[in-house]
Structures are given as structure tokens and as C-alpha cells.
Amino acid sequence: MREYHTATIGDKEIGHGLPVLVQTMYDSAIPHEREALDELLRRIGSLNAMGCDILRFSYPSSDDHESFSCLCKHSPIPLVADIHFDYKLALDAIACGAHKIRINPGNIGARWKVDEVVRSALDNNVAIRIGLNSGSLPKGEDPMPILMSNTALEYLSWFESLGFYNTVISLKASDVETTYEANKLFASQSGYPLHLGVTEAGSVVSSVTRSTWALGRLLEKGIGSTLRISITGEIETEVQAGVELLRTLGLRKGGIRIVSCPRCGRHSFDSQGFLHSIEKDLMSVQKDLTVAIMGCQVNGPGEAKHADIAITGIGRDIFLYEKGKLVRKVSLQEAREAVLEAVRNAE
């Protein structure tokens, strides 16, 4: 029987039987100006409100030491430093207070350098993610999923020889089936937590489709402790997609469920534009509610009956429903605030 291990990342614990957490990666260089850092901390707070549990940063230079230390100290969620090639940067990120570092032992250099990083992480109670992508593996004749899993197991043996078990594994490829097979194989061989993702997945449509197909099948099998849906676009969209996947699979409760109609020739209210203007605000609310945004008289009143809060535009008239009952007619200018007020007041 496999021995299951948990990993501690700041105030979060992950592993077999524990909630699956959503992660994203900051999309710019770490700022150095105090005002920019304050703005970034506000953005992290907003990401957290949307359902983001862990945030990863590239850490390419020790010039970021002071700023990253500030972020680690004040962030409401655990922060991860992404390290490549230079083991000294991993040591520096740990000194900053990073809650987890991500390394590929194969590109850090000599074994003794990896050991130094592991010993520092052990001394400072910092988790390590062994991050392996299909494009950065040792050469081998085995099929890619087998090579990925075997490489991860070898690196784990290095860590375990030093008494280090606070480890997370990620096995990612841009090919969906390679990602699926590699993670399924590793999970059959080891009980360490897995971070799931399809790397370089593309734009919103292609990324969400491909990631859902790979990650959804793994999560249904109980495989995966954290996930990132990598999108060429806003990181807020990554968080939204990850949270929605977990909700769809019944792995996360609470939060707003949005129902909105696709645009068609019958529309008399710009439901798409309205949804775009209000969606981020709704995603930041953790109440268990269904909000419907409808654009015509065909489906609007019917969907309103089944939603906690609904708005339906018919011609120039916009109607607000609560618990299936029409409560008032509002103008287009009043509609957004009317919906948010209804959400805030809902029980």
C-alpha cells in the first residue's frame, strides 16, 4: 500500500483527502516601488477573494530580494518562488520567506547544489515542488509518461535521503494525453501530492478545453492536490477557470454560480457586456448563490424562477428578480448596482 504524504505551504496543507487548491502565476516582474507593491498586494487580495489559494512568482534575480520579502510577509496567501538554473536564487528565495519553491533538480546543477537547497528548505519549513515538463527531462528511451514519472521518483529519493518529505510533484506537458498518463502513472507509484496542469495550453478556449479534459479525468480519480489552468491571458481568468472546474466536479462548495444566455438574434439587452462588467465582482463573493443574466423574453423569465437573483432585459426594460419573484424594474444605468446590492443582501 502506498504511503501518503502531505505538504505544508504556509498555512495550507495539501495531500490525499484534503481540499484541492487553485493556483496561478503572477504575470509580470516583481515591482520594486512601494506604491506598486501595495497595488500588487491589493491584487493578491482580490485573487484570494476569487478563490486563488496559492500564487507563484518568477524569481530570476536576487535584485528582487527586498520586494519579494515584503510580499511574502504581507500576502494573504502562500507565495511560491519559481527558480531555474541557479541554486543560489533558491536559497535567496527561501531567505525571503517563500512558502514554497519550485525547482527542476535536473537544471539546478550538481547534486550537491540540490542538496543545499533541500537542507535549507528543511531548516526553514519550506515546501519544494519538483517541477518537470516534458521539454526539460533527462534523455531516455522510455515513453514520455514513464520517463517523467521515473525521473520524479529518482529526485524524490534524493530528497528522502536527506529526511525531506515536504514535497509536491508536477508532471506537465503541452500534450494532453501525456500529461494525463504521466500523472496517473505517478499516482499509482507514489503518495506525494501532485500539482496538476497542462503547460503552454494556449488561449482561453483551447486552454480551458484541454485542461478540463486532462485535469477533470485525473481529479475524478482522486488524483491531484493543487491545479493551475494555464491561459495566455489574465491570471484572474485562470483562477476563475480553476474554481469553476472544482465546483463542477463537486470538489469546492460556495461561491456565485452564474447562468447567462448565449447571444442570439432575439437579444434586446446586451447580456454579454453586462456579464463582462460584473463578473469579477460576483466571483469575489463566496455566498452560495445562483445569479442569472438573461437577454430576452424567451428564456429570461423562466431562468429567473430558478435563480436566487436574476436580471432580464426586454427591450428598454430591465427586470430584477429575487428567488423567482419580480421585485422591481430598473434602468440600464442602475442595473449593475442593483444586482450587486441584491447579492450583498441575500441570505
Q: Supply the pLDDT for residue 241.
A: 93
State how far the Cα of 29 lies from the Cα of 196, in Å rounded to an integer. 24
Q: Tell me if 55 sits within 8 A of 44, measured CB to CB.
A: yes
Q: How far is CA 27 from CA 85, 231, 234, 332, in A?
A: 20, 11, 8, 34
Asked whether the predicted pLDDT for residue 114 surpasses 60, the reply is yes
pTM for this structure? Answer: 0.88
Number of Cβ within 10 Å of residue 331's Cβ equals 10
State how far the Cα of 65 lies from the Cα of 92, in Å rounded to an integer. 7
Return the closest-CA partner of residue 53 out of 6, 101, 90, 19.
Answer: 19
Q: Tell me if 332 sits within 8 A of 318, measured CB to CB.
A: yes
Return the closest-CA partner of residue 2 out of 155, 251, 222.
Answer: 222
Q: What average pLDDT does range 134-158 have in this prediction?
A: 89
Asked whether the predicted pLDDT for residue 14 surpasses 90, the reply is yes
Q: Supply the pLDDT for residue 296.
A: 64
Instruction: Give the tens place of pLDDT for each residue, 309-344.
Output: 988 877 677 888 888 888 888 888 888 898 889 888
Top pLDDT among 278 and 99 is at: 99
Give the rounded distance of the alpha carbon of 318 from its chain centre.
35
Q: Supply the pLDDT for residue 119.
A: 98
> How long a stretch of residues is the chain?
347
DSSP line for 217-261: HHHHTT--SEE----SS-HHHHHHHHHHHHHHTTS---SEEEEEP
In the numeric block, which cell numbers belong to residue 139? 534523455
Q: Mean pLDDT, the chain, as a whole number? A: 90
Instruction: Give the tens place of pLDDT for each residue, 257-316.
Output: 888 877 665 566 777 888 888 888 888 888 888 888 887 665 556 666 778 898 887 767
Structural domains in the chain, CATH included, are 7-248 (3.20.20.20), 256-345 (3.30.413.10)
Instruction: Give the tens place of pLDDT for each residue, 229-267.
Output: 999 888 999 999 999 999 999 999 878 888 887 766 556
Q: Tell me if 343 sits within 8 A of 289, measured CB to CB.
A: yes
Q: What average pLDDT does range 46-73 have in this prediction?
A: 96
